[in-house]
């Protein structure tokens, strides 16, 4: 039976608590948020000893079912000041599942600052190892050294230099099946929370883990085949996502006038065709070599929406993966139309361990303030070097879009609850505007994406209801460890619950889980309220209400009252 | 009869509204907060067009009664996000009173950024004049040019380069009777609000204003003599304040372990005797020349708690005035024990138009983060040059202590509601801790100073009640335009109200005014609530609860619930 492992970073003491009965279904965001809401004092300093960092997989973590191994990380966020969950692909959730760990809870912090450790977890136990010599290194160098020490089969969870400096754009990254450390729990500064605990990384060695005995292994295999068949026969997963990945979205957003361009001044990008999914696909295929237009970020995934973007000669990996949000925030939003440049920027961000959404938005704000010019790739690369060097300018950028706006006197800051808005202009896709505004997570497209809903995205009608459904759905998926991409193929979640039943012998009820998802959202909101973040923070920045998006001729026009519908 | 003058900074339109009847008593903070609470949408961007900047004198503004010409400035604060009032000496309130203006309201903002204007007000009217050529200049250069243009008898209200950059430590400054522009509405970033309106300064030309006819001039003169007698015969005003000014406080705070030292790590300063009031007095007297140990910041003031600190040869003004808060925040808090150095730093801050409390606290945070060393005067002067040059580092500092803490990863940030804590350690003077926590103004000693209350300052007993009384008293004094120093001599405010009666023929009731003061505090809190700042923001930073102040062996220990007593 899976366990919760608590690691006290002050005493070094490790404690294990078994999960049983109904709790076997507990996982992902529902579990991280439950632990934070129950155990973290909402008013505490997010980087102080009272905060906790929680990592949880879903109830199918550790299995090879497609797209069920998302890793949720949670804490009180130093960026939003509220409760945070950010989830990622990579092998971590799988490793945790294999090691019988549903959640890791990092508590307290070391007596002294500047003392760094690594947690190594294997079937033989967990141990904190000194790691001062890794401090300050980029994520890639850290991962190479840890693989050299602990073997290539290990799974790694790491932070980079940005998080080590306690900066709010610092994320947590996880290795993919090939050992590439670029699957990010990017949002909300959770890497900074990890750093505040003196933790540089986690090494998972699961290869000698005993084979788990399922309640009904035959049934499990049969259901797994069913999932595989759905993924492989649904056009959205088997064709669009597999071929184009998340970037497939760009065609829609550009057409809708929702593609952030020049710090959310425009909603479509004149040079769109230079950076869209089709061009990226063709470039990867044409260059060949190490390039892969379709790649799995987690074990067992059949969708393979990730990719490997190669250098012009095909010999080197320029960046893996290239995703829609980064193309939007670091591409059109900065008026950069060069895929190779975006790949280099993205790769550098991955090495620094920084959220590309937050940093892209911060750069957009700095460009609007005149600190660097729009469209200037070398200025951006220089700014990234500032981030790497920890200069004041670099630190400002890596503190996020809101701090950048304050410091450089820019009023047009695309952020809600201090968290930067992802690559959907909320004036052109108003359901996302409702999600950005009302989600307890701050502006986050994954917290309730309405992009595929059957609404007129630029009109306000039905958007609040649409966002509500999407927010509950996201909570449910995030609590089951499911990749949101799976939803395109597996429309009936009972299939997933049947898999849980086949694994543990306990069949959760879907209606009950939906009810629990609603309760979890309420629990997150309650935490925020207790942290001082209330309904007044549930709104977009002023300029989205007052400036028309010229691409869609629409301003945001849902009132707070209309959006509060979501919370009922 | 006095008027309210509204200046629309978009259209340039100026409108006057007469005050009459009961409203004749309206002034100062009560008036600024009333206008903001009624007219500014609480959720608006503080630097956007919906915010308003209000300046108001008290009902005795424009008379020569001692210490009744404080100027209140108010707006939604870009620093705290809540309602703000910050008051200052200087000649502005007197000039406004002489010109028949109780309040100025600056509304909206210019169509284009970077277009600067000056408002000139004379008995002939008000006009907005182009002022682009003054942009970027220091406060001293600005004042020289404006005096050259408008005559030495003008009164000036100005902002410096920090405010022009929209940074939250940017204050508004006013000239004193000798034309020295260093009387600051320093707190809360009101200078940035002024800049957001495209307003670089106000020139008051009152010399040809007609002589006002008082309701009972003989009675007014008699009461005025009574005030003068009280000021001149009370030891606190006639001896202590007149000789030592605000710095007299340092002996108390150092003895109580409440003098912020090394970013609020200690409560007394080993080199205390090098920077205290006695040393300053003796230095000024010994140097002679332009030095003045006692100086009036406003017309008619008999307390004369201000000073002029001269260079070693007595020939130049190094700084005027030198006050307790700056000695604390830029002296002991930075481990700087050199009065001349503090004078140079203070003078430079005055030229930049920056709040020395906020910037001193920010420098303390940066020192704790290791960005510059404690006690290093030349490093501080270099940092001030960064502020002057608008480098990223300078902009971070001038954005205040909280932003500096975020950017440099320092958790020990002495601030409440993002506003830096003045020079009283709240662990050693817990009544001030309650005021810092619960005042709608953010951490502000003038919002309810309990330093002279008959309590054991390091114990929690009675502190909430003590703060409550002080907060209501401060609101009352700030609404009457009174200098808090006057309270030492004039204990019965009926004398002030008799003066108002002799001026206008209407006698306000003290009990009713006290009730109005309580209501005004509630109105400010309500504004903050509507702006999303609630009871959860009514607390000190974590480290004051968790770290013992070694000088007093006490941590802060009033719970939120105990402090909420104040709000009842």
Query: What is the pLDDT of chain B when averaged over all its residues?
Result: 97
Question: B45 and A539: CB-CB below 8 Å?
Answer: no
Share of chain A above pLDDT 90, in %: 97
SS3 A399: coil
How far is the CA of A550 from the CAs of A199, A259, A265, B488, in angstroms? 46, 12, 8, 61
Does A246 contact chain B (CB < 8 Å)? Answer: no
Does B533 contact chain A (CB < 8 Å)? Answer: yes
Q: Which residues in chain B have Cβ-Cβ distances shorter than 8 Å to A533?
A: 532
Please enumerate in sequence order all residues whose Cβ is within 8 A of that of A135, keeping only pairs 6 or more positions apart, or say none: A114, A116, A164, A200
Does B539 contact chain A (CB < 8 Å)? Answer: yes
Does B530 contact chain A (CB < 8 Å)? Answer: yes
CA dist A359 and A400 (Å) reads 6
Question: A43 and B165: CB-CB below 8 Å?
Answer: no
pLDDT of the residue at B244: 96
Question: B542 and A395: CB-CB below 8 Å?
Answer: no
Share of chain B above pLDDT 90, in %: 97
Does A43 contact chain B (CB < 8 Å)? Answer: yes
How far is the CA of A85 from the CAs of A96, A148, A359, in angstroms? 18, 31, 19
Q: Which residues in chain A have Cβ-Cβ distances shorter than 8 Å to B535?
A: 532
- State the average pLDDT over residues B453-478: 96
Question: A542 and B50: CB-CB below 8 Å?
Answer: yes
Does position B566 have pLDDT exceeding 90, yes or no? no
Chain A residue whose CA is closest to B545: A44
Does A268 contact chain B (CB < 8 Å)? Answer: no
pLDDT of the residue at A20: 87
DSSP codes of every residue in A515-562: HHHHHHHHHHHHHHHHTT--GGGSS--HHHHHS-BTTTTB-----HHH
Does position B567 have pLDDT exceeding 90, yes or no? no
Does B167 contact chain A (CB < 8 Å)? Answer: yes
Chain B residue whose CA is closest to A528: B536
Does A530 contact chain B (CB < 8 Å)? Answer: yes
Pairing of strands B155-158, B71-76: unpaired
Pairing of strands B3-8, A419-420: unpaired
pLDDT of the residue at A77: 98
CA dist A133 and A127 (Å) reads 17
pLDDT of the residue at A564: 87
Strand segments, DSSP code E, in A48-98 are 53-56, 71-76, 83-88
- State the average pLDDT over residues B7-18: 97
Q: Which residues in chain A have Cβ-Cβ distances shorter than 8 Å to B534?
A: 532, 534
Classify residue B104 by burial, with Cβ atoms within 10 Å: 0-12, 13-18, 19+: buried
- State the average pLDDT over residues A63-75: 98
pLDDT of the residue at A552: 87
pLDDT band of residue B480 (cuts 50, 70, 90) is very high
Contact indicator for B156, B222 with CB cutoff of 8 Å: no
CA dist B375 and B517 (Å) reads 42
Residue in A407, A410, A543 to test binding to B, most B beta-carbons within 10 Å: A407
CA dist B350 and B138 (Å) reads 9
- State the average pLDDT over residues A213-234: 98
Does B399 contact chain A (CB < 8 Å)? Answer: yes
CA dist A525 and A534 (Å) reads 8
Residue in B40, B536, B564 to test binding to A, most A beta-carbons within 10 Å: B536
pLDDT of the residue at B552: 87
Q: Which residues in chain A have Cβ-Cβ distances shorter than 8 Å to B43?
A: 536, 539
Question: A42 and B536: CB-CB below 8 Å?
Answer: yes
- State the average pLDDT over residues B439-452: 96
pLDDT tens figures, A386-438: 999 999 999 999 999 999 999 999 999 999 999 999 999 999 999 999 999 99
- Evaluate the CA torsion angle B298, B303, B305, B307 in order and state its sign: positive
Enumerate the β-bridge partners of residue A56. Answer: A72, A103
pLDDT tens figures, A271-311: 999 999 999 999 999 999 999 999 999 999 999 999 999 99
Chain A residue whose CA is closest to B409: A166
Does B542 contact chain A (CB < 8 Å)? Answer: yes
Closest to B324 in 3D by CA, of B382, B233, B254, B235: B254
Q: The tokens of B172 are what?
A: 């508004």
pLDDT of the residue at B20: 87
Of B167, B409, B542, the CB nearest to A48: B542
Question: B530 and A542: CB-CB below 8 Å?
Answer: no
Does position B312 have pLDDT exceeding 90, yes or no? yes
- State the average pLDDT over residues B477-485: 97
Distance (Å) from the C-alpha of residue B342 to the closest C-alpha of chain A?
A: 25
Question: A395 and B408: CB-CB below 8 Å?
Answer: yes
Q: The tokens of B550 are what?
A: 């070694």
Please enumerate in sequence order all residues whose Cβ is within 8 A of that of B525, keeping only pairs 6 or more positions apart, or say none: B440, B567
Does A77 contact chain B (CB < 8 Å)? Answer: no
- State the average pLDDT over residues B495-507: 96
Does A471 contact chain B (CB < 8 Å)? Answer: no
Chain A residue whose CA is closest to B530: A536
**Number of Cβ within a 10 Å radius of residue A385:** 13
- State the average pLDDT over residues A499-522: 96
Q: Which helix (H) or strand (E) holds B293?
A: strand B292-295
Does A539 contact chain B (CB < 8 Å)? Answer: yes
Does position B444 have pLDDT exceeding 90, yes or no? yes
Question: A45 and B533: CB-CB below 8 Å?
Answer: no
Q: Which residues in chain B have Cβ-Cβ distances shorter than 8 Å to A393?
A: 392
pLDDT band of residue A166 (cuts 50, 70, 90) is very high
pLDDT band of residue B114 (cuts 50, 70, 90) is confident
pLDDT band of residue B568 (cuts 50, 70, 90) is confident
Enumerate the β-bridge partners of residue B83. Answer: B76
Chain A residue whose CA is closest to B535: A532
Does position A449 have pLDDT exceeding 90, yes or no? yes
Does position B94 have pLDDT exceeding 90, yes or no? yes
Distance (Å) from the C-alpha of residue A167 to the closest C-alpha of chain B?
A: 7
pLDDT of the residue at A565: 81
CA dist A59 and A68 (Å) reads 9
pLDDT band of residue A313 (cuts 50, 70, 90) is very high
Chain B residue whose CA is closest to A409: B166
Distance of alpha carbon A550 from the chain centroid: 30
- State the average pLDDT over residues A445-466: 95
- Evaluate the CA torsion angle A515, A518, A523, A529 in order and state its sign: negative
Closest to A155 in 3D by CA, of A212, A194, A201: A201
Distance (Å) from the C-alpha of residue B269 to the closest C-alpha of chain A?
A: 25
- Evaluate the CA torsion angle B139, B143, B144, B146 in order and state its sign: positive
In chain B, count H helices and then E strands: 23, 17
pLDDT tens figures, B326-382: 999 999 999 999 999 999 999 999 999 999 999 999 999 999 999 999 999 999 999
Does position A1 have pLDDT exceeding 90, yes or no? no
Does A527 contact chain B (CB < 8 Å)? Answer: no
Question: B411 and A43: CB-CB below 8 Å?
Answer: no
pLDDT band of residue A567 (cuts 50, 70, 90) is confident
pLDDT tens figures, B521-544: 999 999 999 999 999 999 999 999
Does A541 contact chain B (CB < 8 Å)? Answer: yes
Does position B518 have pLDDT exceeding 90, yes or no? yes
Query: What is the pLDDT of chain A when averaged over all its residues?
Result: 97
Question: B411 and A531: CB-CB below 8 Å?
Answer: no
Please enumerate in sequence order all residues whose Cβ is within 8 A of that of A375, keeping only pairs 6 or more positions apart, or say none: A334, A335, A336, A337
Does A532 contact chain B (CB < 8 Å)? Answer: yes
Of A45, A536, A539, the CB nearest to B542: A45
pTM over 0.95: yes
Q: The tokens of B386 are what?
A: 């960064």
Does B41 contact chain A (CB < 8 Å)? Answer: no
pLDDT tens figures, A177-215: 999 999 999 999 999 999 999 999 999 999 999 999 999
- State the average pLDDT over residues A477-504: 97
Does A382 contact chain B (CB < 8 Å)? Answer: no
């Amino acid at each position: 039976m899976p366990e919760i492992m608590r690691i006290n970073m002050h005493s070094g003491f490790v404690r294990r608590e078994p999960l049983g009965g109904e709790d076997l279904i507990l996982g992902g965001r529902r579990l991280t948020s439950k632990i934070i809401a129950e155990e973290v004092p909402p008013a505490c300093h997010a980087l102080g000893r009272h905060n906790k960092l929680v990592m949880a997989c879903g109830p199918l973590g550790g299995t090879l079912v497609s797209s069920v191994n998302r890793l949720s990380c949670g804490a009180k966020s130093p960026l939003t000041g509220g409760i945070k969950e950010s989830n990622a692909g990579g092998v971590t959730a799988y490793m945790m599942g294999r090691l019988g760990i549903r959640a890791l809870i990092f508590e307290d912090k070391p007596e002294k600052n500047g003392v760094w450790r690594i947690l190594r977890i294997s079937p033989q136990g967990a141990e904190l190892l000194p790691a001062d010599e890794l401090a300050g290194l980029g994520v890639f160098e850290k991962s190479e050294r840890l693989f050299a020490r602990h073997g290539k089969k290990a799974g790694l969870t790491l932070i980079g230099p940005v998080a080590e400096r306690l900066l709010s754009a610092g994320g947590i990254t996880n290795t993919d099946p090939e050992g590439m450390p670029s699957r990010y729990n990017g949002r909300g500064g959770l890497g900074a929370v990890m750093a505040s605990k003196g933790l540089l990384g986690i090494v998972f060695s699961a290869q000698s883990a005993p084979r788990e005995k399922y309640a009904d292994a035959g049934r499990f295999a049969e259901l797994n085949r069913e999932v595989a068949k759905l993924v492989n026969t649904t056009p959205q997963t088997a064709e669009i996502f597999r071929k184009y990945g998340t970037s497939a979205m760009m065609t829609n957003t550009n057409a809708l006038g929702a593609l952030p361009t020049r710090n959310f001044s425009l909603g479509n990008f004149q040079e769109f065709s230079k950076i869209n999914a089709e061009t990226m696909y063709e470039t990867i295929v044409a260059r060949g070599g190490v390039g892969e237009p379709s790649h799995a970020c987690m074990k067992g995934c059949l969708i393979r929406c990730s990719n490997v973007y190669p250098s012009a000669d095909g010999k080197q990996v320029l960046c893996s993966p290239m995703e829609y949000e980064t193309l939007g925030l670091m591409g059109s939003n900065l008026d950069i139309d060069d895929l190779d440049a975006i790949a280099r920027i993205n790769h550098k961000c991955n090495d620094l361990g920084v959220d590309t959404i937050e940093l892209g938005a911060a750069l957009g704000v700095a460009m609007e303030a005149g600190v660097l010019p729009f469209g200037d790739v070398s200025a951006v690369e220089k700014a990234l070097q500032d981030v790497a060097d920890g200069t004041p300018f670099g630190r400002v950028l890596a503190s996020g879009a809101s701090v950048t706006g304050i410091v450089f006197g820019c009023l047009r800051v695309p952020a809600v609850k201090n968290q930067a808005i992802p690559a959907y202009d909320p004036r052109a896709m108003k359901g996302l505007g409702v999600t950005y505004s009302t989600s307890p997570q701050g502006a986050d497209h994954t917290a309730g994406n309405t992009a595929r809903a059957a609404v007129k995205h630029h009109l306000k009608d039905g958007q609040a209801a649409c966002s509500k459904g999407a927010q509950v759905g996201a909570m449910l998926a995030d609590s089951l460890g499911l990749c949101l991409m799976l939803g395109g193929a597996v429309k009936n979640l009972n299939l997933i619950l049947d898999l849980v039943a086949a694994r543990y012998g306990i069949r959760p009820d879907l209606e009950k889980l939906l009810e629990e998802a609603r309760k979890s959202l309420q629990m997150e909101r309650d935490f925020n309220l207790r942290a001082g973040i209330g309904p007044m923070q549930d709104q977009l920045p002023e300029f989205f209400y007052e400036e028309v998006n010229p691409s869609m001729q629409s301003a945001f026009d849902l009132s707070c009252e209309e959006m509060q519908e979501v919370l009922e």
